[in-house]
């Protein structure tokens, strides 16, 4: 296959060839007013993280879904010539519109996401049936097959021996199965699950064709990876209990059809230098003026509008804190940055409304002439978020469950105010940051109210000590280490 620089799709001598496969890619395309093609960086922490893999100069190719109309045009072109972005190659995959809608809006995001984050109100939901089967058979499975075919097409000219295929996340659980069917040779395949993996019982909500299908496909990978030891352990137990397989829980191994599947935890991180540089930029410094104008101490949250983030309970907790400690009225502003997400899914659209209603309620109840208790912003403005990271006194991350939560890591690195982190014990980040944060049960609004008060009134000495330790923890396990740890295991798996 020819590329823009004229060589084969994936190049290199004896070095391993890396292929990253994820739903969202590093770049998305559009047309500007003069009709010229423009590119912008893809959304989400995963993109930042995977950029670190491609930066390794290991001949990376990144295969992702075409998201926009212009992406679809690029997808057609990339069949002939992968797009070059910052030294690596991008291949966009065009899916059939209805299949993608069924995968994204009916199977992956409502169903798998809800099961894995424990979001269902089980006496009432989910209500599964023929629609679920259709979303699986006509959406999730074909989209995954399409991905595997795109990988195979891209790699046509390349032998399998040193091939490393890194598949990412719950949108692509069936890809390892189809990859094994399509690829000759002995490619190394890993699947990184970036969201929580619940205990075996959680999986019994799903019909067998989803539950068994997902597990059997994941076990075609050589490594199945998670952000925390807890999720890795849950996966091993799920394989044991749901499929009846032999496992070694201590070592993190599932034995499947004569093969060993390694189950590992690699806590994802960030590139602290990148965030520090962004924090110094002119754009961020300008936005800081707006943040600094907010009255009193700054309580901050930054999230996608997602039910797993527990935004509404956060406002209830804040309301209780203002009730219990009336002296705090006028002394703090809660800046809530909630970025629109997955708005075509009814549960998400309703959640956006619930957030607005909760904010209105708190503001109506506690507002004073010169003080608005909550300032809600529902835009996606990264520079403004960084400006807020730099200036918070308290950061609230109270997720119901979260794979990792990179906001916590990004924010503690650039914060200039010795801010206090109030952190859910169910966020993946809690395994690393819990000791220096104020830990909360995400369901207990009274405990959160007290934690917010404690954080807002903590002595300078204690704030400083905790903030320093949080920053050091993130700096000691950067995104580079996340990549290195996986590479070490790939070599070990291959007996190198
Ligand atoms: O981390 C989970 C994840 O779904 C990623 O796969 C994704 O990039 C991000 O959250 C944002 O979600 P979406 O791609 O649905 O906007």
DSSP string, 137-192: IIIIHHHHHHHHHHHHHHTTTS-STTEEEEEESGGGTTHHHHHHHH--S--EEEEE
- Other C-beta atoms lying within 10 Å of the C-beta of residue 132: 19
d(CA 389, CA 362): 23
Phi–psi pair at 253, nearest 5 degrees = -130, 135
d(CA 111, CA 127): 10
Largest separation between any pair of C-alpha atoms in the chain: 71
Nearest CA, atom 12, ligand 1? 44
Residue 15 is predicted with a pLDDT of 62
Q: Residue written as tokens 């659209």?
A: 349
Query: Which pair of tokens denotes residue 481?
Result: 């280490």
Residue 185 is predicted with a pLDDT of 74
Q: Write the burial class of residue 459 (CB in 10 Å: 0-12 exposed, 13-18 middle, 19+ buried).
A: exposed
The CB of 222 under 6 Å from ligand 1? The reply is no
Determine the residue of 23, 46, 303 to mutate for testing ligand 1's pocket, defined as the one with the most ligand atoms within 8 A of the Cβ atom. Answer: 46
Q: Report the relative pairing of strands 420-424 and 188-192 from DSSP bridges.
A: unpaired
Helix (H, G, I), strand (E, B) or coil at 305: coil
Look up the pTM and report it: 0.94
d(CA 214, CA 361): 42
Would you call the peptide bond into 378 cis, given omega within 30 degrees of 0 as the criterion?
A: no
Mean pLDDT, the chain, as a whole number?
92
**318 Cα: distance to centroid of ligand 1 (angstroms):** 28
pLDDT (tens digit per residue) in 31-74: 999 999 988 877 666 676 777 776 665 568 889 999 999 999 98
The CB of 21 under 6 Å from ligand 1? The reply is no
Per the CB < 8 A criterion, the answer to whether 104 and 97 are in contact is no
**44 Cα: distance to centroid of ligand 1 (angstroms):** 6
The CB of 105 under 6 Å from ligand 1? The reply is no
Phi–psi pair at 186, nearest 5 degrees = -120, 55
Residue 17 is predicted with a pLDDT of 81
**469 Cα: distance to centroid of ligand 1 (angstroms):** 29
Residue 238 is predicted with a pLDDT of 98
pLDDT (tens digit per residue) in 317-358: 999 999 999 999 999 999 999 999 999 999 999 999 999 999
d(CA 297, CA 208): 51
Residue 85 is predicted with a pLDDT of 78
pLDDT (tens digit per residue) in 353-380: 999 999 999 999 999 999 999 999 999 8
d(CA 15, CA 20): 16
d(CA 462, CA 468): 10
Nearest to 313, CA basis, from 373, 397, 407, 195? 397
**Cα 37 vs. chain centroid, distance in angstroms?**
28
**Cα 52 vs. chain centroid, distance in angstroms?**
15
State yes or no: pLDDT of 298 exceeds 90: yes
Nearest CA, atom 9, ligand 1? 44
Per the CB < 8 A criterion, the answer to whether 254 and 215 are in contact is no
Residue 41 is predicted with a pLDDT of 75
The CB of 263 under 6 Å from ligand 1? The reply is no
Among 59-63, 145-149, 159-163, 214-218, the range scoring the smallest mean pLDDT is 159-163
State yes or no: pLDDT of 8 exceeds 50: no
pLDDT (tens digit per residue) in 172-197: 999 999 999 998 778 999 999 999 99
The CB of 402 under 6 Å from ligand 1? The reply is no
> Does the CA dihedral 379-385-391-393 come out positive or negative?
positive
Query: Which pair of tokens denotes residue 323?
Result: 């009730």
pLDDT (tens digit per residue) in 93-130: 999 999 999 999 999 999 999 999 999 999 999 999 99
Nearest CA, atom 7, ligand 1? 44
The CB of 390 under 6 Å from ligand 1? The reply is no
pLDDT (tens digit per residue) in 388-446: 999 999 999 999 999 999 999 999 999 999 999 999 999 999 999 999 999 999 999 99
Q: Which residues face 259 on adjacent strands? A: 256
Phi–psi pair at 143, nearest 5 degrees = -65, -40
Q: Which residues face 368 on adjacent strands? A: 371
Residue 43 is predicted with a pLDDT of 64
The CB of 306 under 6 Å from ligand 1? The reply is no
Query: Which pair of tokens denotes residue 303?
Result: 């999230």
The CB of 46 under 6 Å from ligand 1? The reply is yes
The CB of 380 under 6 Å from ligand 1? The reply is no
Per the CB < 8 A criterion, the answer to whether 359 and 376 are in contact is yes
d(CA 153, CA 147): 10
Atom of ligand 1 nearest to the CA of 42: 8
The CB of 195 under 6 Å from ligand 1? The reply is yes
């Amino acid at each position: 296959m020819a590329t823009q620089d004229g060589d084969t799709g994936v190049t290199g001598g004896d070095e391993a060839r890396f292929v990253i496969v994820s739903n969202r890619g590093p770049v998305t395309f559009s047309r500007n007013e003069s009709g010229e093609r423009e590119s912008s960086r893809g959304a989400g922490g995963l993109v930042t993280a995977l950029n670190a893999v491609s930066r390794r100069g290991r001949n990376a190719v990144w295969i992702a879904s075409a998201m926009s109309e212009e992406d679809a045009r690029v997808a057609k072109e990339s069949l002939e010539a992968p797009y070059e972005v910052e030294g690596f190659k991008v291949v966009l995959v065009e899916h059939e519109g209805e299949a993608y809608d069924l995968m994204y809006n009916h199977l992956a995001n409502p169903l798998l996401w809800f099961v894995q984050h424990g979001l269902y109100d089980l006496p009432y939901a989910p209500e599964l049936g023929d629609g679920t089967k259709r979303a699986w058979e006509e959406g999730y499975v074909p989209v995954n097959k399409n991905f595997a075919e795109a990988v195979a097409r891209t790699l046509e000219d390349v032998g399998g021996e040193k091939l490393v295929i890194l598949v990412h996340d719950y949108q692509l659980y069936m890809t390892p199965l189809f990859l094994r069917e399509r690829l000759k040779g002995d490619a190394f395949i890993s699947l990184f699950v970036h969201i929580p993996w619940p205990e075996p019982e959680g999986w019994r909500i799903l019909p067998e064709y989803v539950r068994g299908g997902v597990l059997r496909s994941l076990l075609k990978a050589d490594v199945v990876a998670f952000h925390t030891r807890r999720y890795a352990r849950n996966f091993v137990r799920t394989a044991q209990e749901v499929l009846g397989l032999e496992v070694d829980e201590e070592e993190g191994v599932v034995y499947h059809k004569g093969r060993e599947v390694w189950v590992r935890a690699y806590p994802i991180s960030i590139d602290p230098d990148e965030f520090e540089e962004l924090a110094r930029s002119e754009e961020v410094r300008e936005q800081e003026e707006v943040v600094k104008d907010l009255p009193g101490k700054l309580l901050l949250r930054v999230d996608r509008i997602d039910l797993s983030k527990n935004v509404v309970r956060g406002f209830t907790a804040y309301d209780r804190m203002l009730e219990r400690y009336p002296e705090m009225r006028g002394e703090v502003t809660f800046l809530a940055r909630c970025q629109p997400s997955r708005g075509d899914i009814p549960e998400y659209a309703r959640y956006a409304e619930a957030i607005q209603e909760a904010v209105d309620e708190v503001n109506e109840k506690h507002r004073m002439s010169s003080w608005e208790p909550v300032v809600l912003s529902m835009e996606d403005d990264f520079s403004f978020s960084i400006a807020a990271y730099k200036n918070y006194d308290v950061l609230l991350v109270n997720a119901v469950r979260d794979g990792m939560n990179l906001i916590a890591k990004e924010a503690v690195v650039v914060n200039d105010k010795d801010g206090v982190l109030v952190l859910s014990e169910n966020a993946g980040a809690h395994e690393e940051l819990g000791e220096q944060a104020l830990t909360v049960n995400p369901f207990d609004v009274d405990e959160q109210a007290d934690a917010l008060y404690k954080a807002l009134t903590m002595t300078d000495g204690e704030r400083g000590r905790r903030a320093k330790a949080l920053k050091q923890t993130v700096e000691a396990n950067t995104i580079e280490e996340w990549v290195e740890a996986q590479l070490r295991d790939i070599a070990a798996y291959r007996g190198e």
